[in-house]
Structure formats: structure tokens, C-alpha cells
Structure 1
């Protein structure tokens, strides 16, 4: 329905455009039937949107080009900067259009049956969000540029920020296209490349070294819904302040970095600095998430459990009559074997790495039930005031494992949604506090959660449960562990759970590229550096040493196609330089001398000043805002953006046959020296344009993931064989389209579907990984939580669910 409406709207726009057009109806978020609906822009609509954006950018560029001719000093530099940004934007559009179209043509091959969603679609969705931001900014510039209150530098910064994002998205999409071309030719159509694939080497060399800075400044969380975006901007500001203090304390005394959270006043003061300077915040975030060790992740992710948030939990969360920590003592006991009558299975406590230890857990129940008074291993009655009424034992129990990247958080951090579940479902919930990595790497957490599961089966009467139905659920890392519990229960012959609900789980504990894991480059919660460290810590890999700098790290680099020729050796390495060969339809372009003499330059400047006033009116009249046809838009030549240095600022020459000739401007240094750029003839085909210009960084520390087993189902459930997968009960998976671990859920659903196993995959829109932690600030997150509760009702065999639309 939305696609038809969007196509009709754009068609009407091109036929009846007015200067006062309002873009509010093209917002990326749309309310449908009172719920948040995902905007899925069709290929034809995206092409129209890009044409519209291209026309707007060129119209704005023409306006400021006319002002460049008659301005000087600071105003001249300001107008030149606008032209440079807009010309860079126009240069990206043809390749962006081709890449998006290519990915969407083949994305359906990687969908789970009946569900449109995978990493390729998500990359294009992020691109669409960036394009909408650029469209809004360009319309704002066009409609307000002559207003007295219009601030050109501010508007230019906004557009430039998203142009930088667009350039980085272009590089990401090109790598995505590379993955698509290789995997779409295989029979399996895997979202994760096979072991030994050259894609892995390309990921390590090219992708992880992309500079993420543009994603963590003023454009932070641009692809999420507004409520989440505001929260993440606050979180990233706090994270930058915390990282700065962490570094400071570590420099003073090694090992004292985690104490940074205790310096509340200094952290708040530092936050002001990062709020006023988004670029400074971005630099701190990129540096800290790539360089600091796992202790930094553990400390910051545990902030939700600090005493600062206890009043929030007390006042705003649902009340539970029972929400207590219990200790599961290590003991050996037996359970009846699930397959054969009369036989028993011996269950032993977890012992990996450091022997047997007591295990902590939390039992939650909205109302006290029979048996829950006797919750200690020695059947000691707890000492608290008895309620007026004790309910009978429940038929159902929810067995829960918390998230936190295997390295942080506890069951207490999940109060935000577990209390809601307990109130809505009216069943007891047992949440396990397993040992965290890197102190307790794999297989410690799996062993502990399996032991706790068996303990719950053995001592069901102590949990207010009669043993009828049990459902395993977990979010993030916990979603991985519950699959391990089910697999181990099958291998040991223990009773299997009656259902599994896994929320946004990482099901492949390998540093392996996939389309959705490219999103980690722009994700503020699990950026690529943190993702790598968490997976390595859980797999038990030691901290590596630096691998050294990549060639050209930290400076602009350029990737050029084999057939591309640079106009000059100097300009070939400049940042954001774009060739005229990147747009269609430019013919009969005039050449500009590549090395004019000083006298020629002075003559050119004199002639330009004499003709400037005569040209300005004609130029403005020629660029009155009338949207051209698609053919006319693509007949415009691409701008050539030159580099900016301390002594030389060269901006673009815009060539337009449809708009009467060549427009160019040249701004020299203080002495008037300038360098002209040769405009090369445009290539005839857009099939293989030059790759985008990108800034590179040092590579991440290299963990030896080659030593991690590739066939261990308890470590990576995606690597389970068909026998284990067939043994699973009904499985429900919930993930987000914008989650770096989206492909893990999609691939698991595909495998279970091929085996004809009962599986349900739900994908929510506009939400990040870990969206259940945002229930207090986001209506969309609350809808996601409602969906999770409805899936739990189905697995617990409650009444037919009333599902929300997200």
C-alpha cells in the first residue's frame, strides 16, 4: 500500500512541483493504523527520489555559483564550500542508484520463507534513511536560503555530514555487492561466506579499516526511529565522556579505568564538551571502541545496574511480590531420561576453567505461589512477611538468560522487561546469572545455564511451578545460550524445553562477515571494535598485539578502477574528488587547460569579474526551480571536486549542456595563484564507475579466530548439524532489521524451515540491537516488547495472540 502511495506521490511531484513544496509527507517514519510501519521504498520510487535530490542539489549549487562570482573573502570561501559539498553529493548519486538497485534485485534469494528481511535489505534501508535526510536538508536550503534568518554555515554542515555518510555508505554497499555477487552464484545462498572465502580477507583488509567517524558525530543513529535516536545520542555522549575518563585513570594507574563511572561530576562536565562538538565526540568514540580493552565494555555496559538507576526501577517498573536472588549450590543429582523409561541421567555442576562454584539466579513472580517460600537448597523458609493470598503452582515457567555480549550485565539489568513479562503472563520467571567472559569463557556459561535448567526441572516445586511447561528465552548473548541448553539437553537425554524464544541473538561466535554485520560500522551500541572483542572474549581468545598500520591509514585514500585515468598525480589522492565520468548524458564538454600560466590566470580572473554581473541574472533565471525530466537530469555533467589545503582551495566546475555551457569557479591562495583541473570526457557506461573516495584507519587488533572450532553447536548454534536442529522444539526468533546480528536469526530460520521444523521469525523496524532496554523511552520498543510477550503466550499455549504491527 505504501509503495503505491509513494510512487503516486513522486509522480505527482515531478508533474506539479512548486517552490514551497513540503516534504513532511515523505518522512521515513509513517503511522499506519496507529502503529509504526516500516517504510520500504521500491526501486522505482528510489530512482525518482534520487532524481529529485539531484535536481535540488544542482539548483542550490547554481544559486550559490552565481554568488561566488561577485563575492570575496569569507563569503567567497563559504559559497565555495557549499558548491563543493553539493557537487560531491551529485557525484555519488549514479553509483548509489546502481548499487541499491543491484542489491534489491538479488536480496530475495537470502530471505527466510515468508519474511522479507536480511542484511542486504537492511543496508539499502540505511541508505534510504540517509537520502531522506539529504532531501530534507536540500529542500530546507532551497526554501530558506534568501531568508534573513538563514544560517548557511549550519545548513552546509548538516548536508556535509550526511554527504560524508553517503560516501561511506557507498563504500559499504560496494562491499555488499561483492558479497552478493559471490554468494548468489552458490547453491546454498548463504548469508555468511564459507570458511576460507576471500571475502573474509577483504573484510579484514578493507572493511574494518573504514573510518567510522562520520557515523558517530551529528549523524549518530540517523537510521533509527526518533525516540531511539535521541536516547542513543545521549548514550554516546556519555560513552565518550566515560571513555575519556577511563583513559585518564588508566594512564595514572593501570587497572583503575573501570572506576570512571564513579566520577559523575567530571563526566558530566566532559559531556558538555562533546555535546557542543559532535566531531570531537565521534573521534573519541571511534578511538575508544577500537582501542580500549574488554574492561571498558564491561564497565560501561554495567551502568544500568548502578545505584543511580535504582530509584527509576523502584518508581517506574511493575511491582513483584517475589523478586529475589537465590543461590543454586553445586551438587550432583539425577533426572529421568527423556527417551527410555526407568533410566536416569546424572547431572553434574559446571566445572570448566575453575571448578565447581555456586550459581546465582533470580526468581520473579508477580504473586507468591505455593512452594516459593522454600527456595534455598536446604529447604530453609525465607523470612519475609507473608502475603494475604498464596496462589497455586503455575503450569508454566519461563527460564531466562540475560544479554550483555557474554561479558557484562546480569539478570538485574533485565528488570525493565522481565517485570512486565511477569505481570502480563502471570507465570514465574527464573533468570540465570552465568559467569561472564573473559574470566569465564566458553564453555563455562553453557555448562552453568544447562545445570540451572536441570536444577529447575529437579526442584520445580521450589519455584512455584508444577513442571508442566517450560520455555527458554534469552536476549542477545542469552539467545545464544538457550540454544546451547536445548542442544545439550538433547545430547544428554534430558527433557527438552517446550519452546524457545530468542531475541536478536548472535548465533555464530566467529568474526565472519555478513551483510548485516556491516551495520556494525555505524551502530553506536555494538560498533565493530566492541563486537570483535566480545566474540573473542567468549571464545577464550587472548588479547592480541597490534598488527601495525595499513598503508595510508589515517590519510585520505582513493580506489580507482583499472580503466580510470587521473587528471593529475596531485589530484588523484585528494579526498572526495569525483570525475565527470560518473553521470550520464554529458556530451561535447569543453576542456580547461590543466596548467595555465600566471598571466593567463590573471586574464581569466579579470574577464570573469567583468562578465560576472551580466551572467548572474541569466544564471538565476536559467535555474529557477522546475524539476526536469529524468532524461534531462541525467544530462547534467558531474562536478569535479578538488581538494582543500591550507594554501589552495579549489572547488568544482559544473558542466551542463542543458543549462547553456560550462560553469566553473576558481579560488586561489592569498597571492591569487590557482590550479585548474582538466575535465575528462565522460565514459559511455555507468556499469563500473570509480569506487568512492574513503578515509581509512588502522586495522583492529587481530584475534586468532582460526583456532575457534567451526563445528561446535554449543558455541555457535548456527553450526549445529541437522540432527540437533531437528530435535529442537518450536522456535520463535525476534530480530531488528537494523541489528548487526540480523543475519544470524535469518539464517537460523532458513535452516529450520528447510528441515520442516516449527519456526517463527519476526523482524521489527527502526529499532537497534537490545531494543528491550529502551522500553521507558520508546513507543516502538514497547511494541517490540508486546510482540515478544505474544510469542511467549503462543509457546506457553495461552490463548490466541493479539499481535502488534511494528
Structure 2
């Protein structure tokens, strides 16, 4: 069965009903099944799926009748309502395919009854939870203004959304159903990430995080490979009440020399790869309105006073200025691998007229330019441009406005010292993903208020433009997204807002890597211990296995009183329906801090005066990203002001697709779109 935006929704539900009936007839037939109770489970499951399907068909029809009103324009179909319908269809198509297989093979000698029953029960659970999400989306559709995707003025509705998230069962989306909504080529990668995280969570805290812990995690991951239910339950437990420092530690493993070495092998080699440390000195820049006058730009000072700013210069070609003593002076003492710009056989090129300044993603709390090197190297080659990526300070140690101050200072420093970077900076583009996309926009807002030269354009991939837990249809995806659960999103937002601020100046900027050498010394003992733990877990999986919710003969049993306490006060579901509830409730800290609504934190809330005059903004979003509505609403806001803006929505990819650019052709295609938008900034089409 083909699944695309043009298919007839009624055809999907007709096929679903037919396959359910077929399975019920075959499995309940007069001939005795050799599988006993497993057959009964399958019959009960197919009846439940049929019930969900029949209830959902009119709901989907109500969305398809109106969801085009929420698109950016007719040429750019994309918003959270469309996405929820698309995700539901993906789930239904999986069920249809599996149901047809079961009906055709259930009497065969090699039919794996237990496996197929568990698979169908998992998708039945997922369908139940998606039905609940569509009900929540109906409330949004009813309560929000026409064409509005956020209920930012309805705090009560947003609170109810957070409460529902906190109590609803999610493990089914992280086990057998993991990543069903994304491109099939990405599912093995997502499974690897989830298994790695739950394994890392099991060993986290035993010692300093790093390569040693990662090695131990690898060897304890066996049980999560063979038991999807255990994997889903553990991942839900970790993300329900996330330890932010665990999250930072896990993603910082990607910064290690070993793992980043694989990145360098897979990406284009470059002639220049320098990490720079710029001292905190005041800069004098000309005013945009009158270049004969200048203004002073102070170094970053928030929270702990003036401090250096760290950056990485990447250039596929060696260009004039990049081998100067002045530039190399900023990289003295750098222990990171540096491509030598003085090799005699390297031909030096003249400065590029272009300069790309990049701010990396990571939720304002994790990662650096190093973890984004793979696509930055490729961009430098494809665009023939030097790339300056800023390693801004991370939260919670450095909350707002430290990162913004550092990125703005780096932008100003790059304008003043472009001759050292191999560029004349005739045209400058800011590019960033996720949190970095937010910083691209807010740096331009700072430049506007300072009266200095603006960049010639922005390319922001899946940017966070509203740093709140306000409800929107795409934000409902945080219930099922393995890369951006609401618990993770809320903690990153609160860390950046300063809710978890610790008044301490961070140690050495790349200190997160210093522990890796220490951990490597423990690697052999970890391997021994890890091997022992892995063998034990395979012999006795129940030894460390928590009781996942709703397992057993009936995965849809009614939740107990403790699980549903207060749920009826939150939302009223249709008679006879109630979503599955988690036995491990989440605690999501509300994003109620006043800082969150600062326009330099949430540019979607910025008044016209702070956005009028921005350079052309090119937004690249994913239809399956929980932050999709951020891009759609921000693009609409800019267009309504008369600002130049484009929005591209790619299909079937998760948040963070740029970091996955080399995994499959779909992510590479999305990266190519980002490159083409950057090229548009450097080579704008002629005015007609």
C-alpha cells in the first residue's frame, strides 16, 4: 500500500477494517489453532485495532477538511495537524501489512506466533496513544484562533497538555514500534541511539563519563537488543524524569577522539581545521547607517564577567590569511588535530568573497562544533567558503544571555577580522540548526539594535523559536519522538532560561573531553566487567528488568486508580476510551520563568520593531519534527510584516537531520536543500 499526502484516507481505514475482519475470522475459525492463548491475544488485539480505526476515521476526516488553512502557503504543505494525520497513517499501514502477513501465514509450520502477537500488540498500543493525541489536537483546533498553531494565550490548555504527557504511556514508541514514522533507512540508527542511551543509563554514575563508560554500556546492551519491551520501558523511564547532566554526558561521548575520528573519515578532508580562542577585548565596528561612525561592542560578560570566545575555522581550501601568524596566535596551545596550513604542496587561494558563520545545535546544553564537523566540512567544499563555527558556552552552567552574547561577539569579531579567515566578507550568511537556528535569529536582532552591519541572510534548520511548553499540534509529537521527548525539551529550555543555574564559571571550555583520557585508562577493567554483566543479563534478563507497563495477556487493561489520578480532570475523552497510562509518571518543570518570553529567547514572541529589517530568512523544517510549528508560525509572522522569508518542509526525517546527513539519501537531500538556501544568500537571484 502506498502512503503519501495524496492518498485517500478512507481507503486506509477500509483496508484496516478488512484486514482486522480477515484475521478475526481466520484466527477464530472452526479449526483449532496450534498456538492456544497466543491466538486469543491476536484476536483480542485485532478487535481493539478495529475499534480504534472505526473511531478514528471521522476524526481524520475532520482534520483533512481544514488542515490546509494552517500551512505557510499552498506550495508548502506542512503543519502539526497534517503531521499527526501522516503519523497515524504510517501506523495504520504497518498494522495492515503485518495483519495481511499474519492472516496468510498463521497456519504455517514456521509462523512465529509469540513474536507476531507481541508486534501487533505494540502497534495496537501505539494506535491507542495516537488516538489520544488526535483528541488533544482536536481540542487545540477548537480552542485556538483560526490559522494559529499555538495556544500561547491559553495557559490552562498548555498545562493540561503537559499533565497528559506526564501520565501517558510512551514505552511502546521506543520498543518494537521505534521510528515507524520516519524513513526506513533511519530506523536502524534510531534503534542504535535508543539502545546506546539505555545501556549508558545503566552504567552512568559508576565513574566519570566518557569512553570507559561507553565501552561498558556497549557490552551491557545485549538484553536491550533481544527484548524490545525492556528497551522501551527503560527509555521511557530515562526520558520521563531526565537527569540533564546524564543527557549532556551521553551526547558528549560523540566528542571523543575515537568517535569524531570516524566522522573525519566519512566526511571531506579539509586544508584548514583550526580551533580559535579569542580574548575578551572591546571591538569597534562601523555603524550600518553611517560607516564613518563607529560603535563599541563589548565582550561577553553575563554571569561571570569577561571571558574568551571559542570558535572553529574550517576551510576546504587554504586561503590567504588563514596561515598568518596573527590567526595562528589565536590557536596556540590547541591540542586538537589541526590541518597544517603550511604544507609546501598546498596551493593558497585568494580570499573568498563569502563567509559562513555557524552556530551548532544541542538544546543549548550539549555538543560543540566538533560534533557538527561532518556536514560543515562538506558545506565548505560544496560552497567553496570558509566556515566559522562558534563554540558558545552551554547551559545550565551558562544560561541566557551568555550564549547569545558569545555568538554576537563572535559575529562582530568575524566581521572585523574576516581577512584572517580567508574571506573579504562581501556577503555573510548565518547558519544554524535547532538551538543554533534560534541563535542565528537572535544574533541578527542584536545586530539590528546595535546598529551594525547585518548578515546578508540566515539559514535556520528546524529552529526553536518559542522556548516554552505551550501546546501546538506538532509539539504533541514529543510523546512519541525518541530524539526530542517533552521531558528533554522542557529541561533544556529551563536550563537555558536559568532555572537550573549554578553560579560557577565553567572550567576549560573543552573540559568535557578531558575526562575521556582518564576513562580510557579504565577501559580494560570496564570491558571485563561489562562482558560479565552482559552474559549475566542474557542468562537472567529478569535480574535487572523493571516491570514495564501494560504487559501480559491484555496490554489494554484498564489502568489502576493511581495511574489515572486526576486524569479525568485534565481532559474528557470519548466514552469508552482512555489512553494507556505510564507506571512511571514524568515530572516536567513548567516553562514559566519570565526569561522564556524574552524576545531574545523566544523570537516568535518578538515585537515588530525587533524583527523589522531582518535579512532574508530561509527556514528548513521537517514534517515529523516536534518543532515544525515553530518554523511555520515564525515564517508566517515574518511574511505578515513584509519580511523576506522562505520555508521548506522535508518529509520523513527527525529533528537533527543535519547531523545524520551521511546516513541515507533522504538526510543528504535535506542537507542539500540547506546548502542551496545558503547559496541563495551568497548568490541572490537577480531582482525582477
TM range (shorter): 0.7 to 0.9
Counterpart contact for 1:236–1:285, Cα < 8 Å: yes
How far apart are the structure 1 equivalents of 2:179 and 2:577? 25
> Rg bigger for which structure?
1
- Aligned counterpart in structure 1 of residue 176 of structure 2, from 194, 203, 218: 218
C-alpha RMSD over aligned residues? 2.5
State the shift of 1:261 in Å: 4.5
Does 510-519 or 423-432 show the bigger shift? 510-519
How far apart are the structure 2 equivalents of 1:543 and 1:363? 30
Unaligned 5+ segments in structure 2 are 333-339, 503-546, 561-572
State the shift of 1:424 in Å: 0.5
Match for residue 92 of structure 2?
Answer: 131
- Aligned counterpart in structure 1 of residue 54 of structure 2, from 72, 94, 119: 94
- Is residue 280 from structure 1 mapped to residue 230 from structure 2 by the alignment? yes
How far apart are the structure 2 equivalents of 1:299 and 1:454? 31
What pairs up with 1:33-112 in 2 under 5 angstroms? 39-42=4-7, 45-67=8-30, 70=32, 75-112=35-72
Match for residue 161 of structure 1?
Answer: 122
How far apart are the structure 2 equivalents of 1:704 and 1:77? 45
Match for residue 320 of structure 1?
Answer: 270
CA gap of 1:109–1:87, structure 2 versus 1, over 3 A, is same
How far apart are the structure 2 equivalents of 1:729 and 1:246? 45
State the shift of 1:239 in Å: 0.9
Q: Secondary structure at the match of 1:732?
A: strand
Match for residue 165 of structure 2?
Answer: 207
How far apart are the structure 2 equivalents of 1:330 and 1:365? 25
Match for residue 499 of structure 2?
Answer: 541
- Is residue 143 from structure 1 mapped to residue 104 from structure 2 by the alignment? yes
How far apart are the structure 2 equivalents of 1:297 and 1:202? 26
How far apart are the structure 2 equivalents of 1:260 and 1:215? 28
State the shift of 1:293 in Å: 1.3
Match for residue 753 of structure 1?
Answer: 639
- Aligned counterpart in structure 2 of residue 339 of structure 1, from 289, 295, 300: 289
State the shift of 1:175 in Å: 0.4
Match for residue 671 of structure 1?
Answer: none
Counterpart contact for 1:95–1:689, Cα < 8 Å: no
State the shift of 1:695 in Å: 1.7
Counterpart contact for 2:323–2:342, Cα < 8 Å: no
How far apart are the structure 2 equivalents of 1:261 and 1:177? 46
Match for residue 740 of structure 1?
Answer: 626
What pairs up with 1:433-452 in 2 under 5 angstroms? 433-452=391-410
Counterpart contact for 1:122–1:516, Cα < 8 Å: yes
State the shift of 1:333 in Å: 1.9
Number of matched pairs:
618
CA gap of 1:698–1:146, structure 2 versus 1, over 3 A, is closer
- Is residue 455 from structure 1 mapped to residue 413 from structure 2 by the alignment? yes
- Aligned counterpart in structure 2 of residue 385 of structure 1, from 342, 352, 364: 342
What pairs up with 1:360-399 in 2 under 5 angstroms? 360-374=310-324, 376=326, 385-387=342-344, 388-399=346-357
How far apart are the structure 2 equivalents of 1:259 and 1:381? 27
CA gap of 1:193–1:215, structure 2 versus 1, over 3 A, is same
How far apart are the structure 2 equivalents of 1:210 and 1:330? 48
State the shift of 1:27 in Å: 4.2
- Is residue 400 from structure 1 mapped to residue 358 from structure 2 by the alignment? yes
State the shift of 1:401 in Å: 0.3
User: So what's the TM-score if we normalise by structure 2?
Assistant: 0.86
Counterpart contact for 1:171–1:694, Cα < 8 Å: no
- Aligned counterpart in structure 2 of residue 428 of structure 1, from 386, 392, 413: 386
Counterpart contact for 1:793–1:799, Cα < 8 Å: no
How far apart are the structure 1 equivalents of 2:274 and 2:349? 18
What pairs up with 1:171-570 in 2 under 5 angstroms? 171-183=132-144, 186=145, 189-246=147-204, 249=206, 256=207, 259=209, 261-374=211-324, 376=326, 385-387=342-344, 388-542=346-500
State the shift of 1:192 in Å: 1.2
How far apart are the structure 1 equivalents of 2:368 and 2:210? 20
Does 746-755 or 202-211 show the bigger shift? 202-211
Counterpart contact for 1:365–1:429, Cα < 8 Å: yes
User: So what's the TM-score if we normalise by structure 1?
Assistant: 0.73
CA gap of 1:178–1:157, structure 2 versus 1, over 3 A, is same
CA gap of 1:260–1:372, structure 2 versus 1, over 3 A, is closer
